[in-house]
Amino acid sequence: MFSLNLLSKQQKKETRFEIYNHVLLHIGIAVLLVGIMFLALLAPTFIFLYFQKADLIRLLDVEKESPENARLKAAEESINASNRIVQFLQRSETDIRRTLPFVAEIYRISDGLVAISKFEYSLTNKKIALGGNAKVVKDFLAFKDALAGSSYVLEVVSPPENVVRLQNVVFTLDITLK
C-alpha cells in the first residue's frame, strides 16, 4: 500500500510535536490523578498516625514519671549491682581456690602454737599479712619457721618488734606467696 502524505516537513514536525504534547499531557494528568488519589487515601492515615504518635509520647512521659517505674528502675539498678558482684566473685573464685590450701595449712601450723587474729590477703601481689599472739616467743618462732618452710611461701618478713617480749607475744608477719 501506498502512503501518501501531502503535508510539508514543517507541518509534519508540528503535527508530531502536537501528538507528543498531547501524550505527555495525558501522562501528566494520569500521574497527577494517581498522586491525588494516593494523597486522598493516605492523608487520613498520616493525620491519625501523627496524632497517635503525639499521644504515645505524652503517655510515655507520664509512664516514666510514675512511682511504679521508679521502683522498677531501683530494682533494675539493684539487680545490675548484684550481677556485677556475682561476676566479680566468679572471676575471683579461681584465685580463692588456689589460695585455699595455703590458708588451711596456715591454720594447721598455727594450731596449738599461736592464735591468729588478723588475716589480710591481696590477690594482686600475692601477699598475706598475718597478725596474732603467742604465749611464748618460742611458739611464735616455731610458727614462723614452719611458715617459711611451707611449699607455698616465697618469703616471710617478721619485724624485730615480734621477738621483743618473751611471753604474750603480739606479732605481725608479711608473707609473700610463690
pLDDT digits (tens, 9 = 90+) for 47-63: 999 999 999 999 888 88
Residue 121 · residue 128 · CB < 8 Å: yes
Residue 177 · residue 99 · CB < 8 Å: yes
- Domains parsed from the chain with CATH numbers: 96-177 (3.30.1360.100)
Which residue would you say has higher pLDDT here, 55 or 68?
Answer: 55
pLDDT of residue 24: 95
pLDDT of residue 17: 93
Widest CA span in the chain? 140
Q: How buried is 173 (Cβ within 10 angstroms: 0-12 exposed, 13-18 middle, 19+ buried)?
A: buried
Residues with Cβ < 8 Å from 113, sequence gap 6 or more?
Answer: 134, 139, 140, 142, 143, 146
pLDDT of residue 95: 66
pLDDT of residue 59: 87
Convert the pLDDT of each residue in 89-138 to its tens digit. 887 777 677 767 888 888 888 888 888 888 888 777 888 898 988 998 89
Confidence of residue 153 (pLDDT cuts 50, 70, 90): confident
pLDDT of residue 177: 82
The three grid cell numbers given for residue 51, joined into one nine-digit string: 496524632
H runs (alpha helix) in the chain: 9-64, 67-110, 137-148
**Would you say how long the chain is, in residues?**
178
pLDDT of residue 32: 96
Convert the pLDDT of each residue in 28-45 to its tens digit. 999 999 999 999 999 999
